[in-house]
Structure 1
Amino acid sequence: MKILLADDHVLFREGLQFLLQSLGPQPEMLCAGDYAGTAALFAQHPDAALALVDLDMPGREREGGIERLLALAPTVPVVVLSACEDGDAVRRVLDAGAMGFVPKRERPDVLLGALRLVLAGGVYVPPMLLSSTPRAAPAAVLTPRQVEVLQCLAQGQANKLIARQLGMTEATVKAHTGAIFRSLEVANRAQAVLAARRLGLLPPA
């Protein structure tokens, strides 16, 4: 398993390499310490199973940030690691297509659990984002992009059509759909639409 690891703090990066050994038998770690080096890794290794990227590395503005990385290798699941815990920043990262956001203060077991979820095709949303708004108002938990996907689901659109209409990959559509299911505590599209209408997130049928 090939893992891309990008962080400008060498000690933190080396600690992560040791921790990530538990994700699989002898994972291959490919490391970078700035956005330019990370962009090169993404371009050279679009077959990577996973990428962990520090949000605030040198070259962020010049290289286009996380959005450019996601565009370089749209099939690589990206999990952002950051000391930033601003809810708007987290939503922007997930809207861009990242499969998860893990605050750097989290325990190692939380990080590993998040990465296993992403490797299984899920999306990891940090508890601080889910708890930042009242439970009775799940619309605030969904990112703007997820709301758009939810509206398409209500129209019965297939993933391919949603992807084309919203300008994203099918993998990103699936990621957003999984996040919607978890936020609404449902198991499929029909349940998501019913729950969304009951909660006032969608107009009545």
Structure 2
Amino acid sequence: MNFLKNYGIKIKNEDLLKVALTHPSYTNEHGGENYERLEYLGDAVLELAVSEYLFANRDLSEGDMTSLRSRFVCEAANYEYANKIGIIPFIKLGNGQLTVNDTIGADVFEAVLGVVFLECGYEVTKKFILKVVAPYIESDYKFYTNYKSLLQEMIQTSKKSLEYVEISESGPAHDKTFTFEVRVDGIIYGRGTGHSKKEAEQEAAKDAYMKAASGKE
């Protein structure tokens, strides 16, 4: 687990770092601690560090800073950071969770920040955060959110069926437009269009997910 050493960070309490890399599905099966408490701490440190950075480097209103910060501490962003620093291969899952999805990767990134904070203090943690995050802010990076995965996770506990149905295809061969519906147990939850089937499915999933998240499904 040398991903932190690449940033000049030494963790003396290796057991604490192992906790940060342990998903609840593993502890449900084997006992012990998981990353959830550390994630809570890391989330707070991440928000503070990015808030300080934006306050010092952007002449923006409170509302604009809040909006900009949300882009760079969201789930899609945190998953990207986890990938960048090489956390993903070290995450420990149980048999009930076969893959590391965006949510897990994002949560573990925050949990690791919690460990760095406890071991090294705020200033070292902030320096680490900004080494990772600031380049994305300065390049105005647009993070990709996989709404199909988010929607799947939202409904999987209810054991309902989820399907994407192509409704229409139009336009010339070089500029096609596809329209898809997403259906849950046969009921239409969302619709989306795109210049590829993949894009249209993502837009349909986004429509359904946003409605469900706001209670308007």
Fold agreement, TM-score > 0.5: no
Q: With CA pairs under 8 Å and 6+ residues apart, which has the higher RCO, 1 or 2?
A: 2
TM-score by length of 2: 0.26
Q: Which has the higher helix share?
A: 2
- Greater radius of gyration (CA): 2
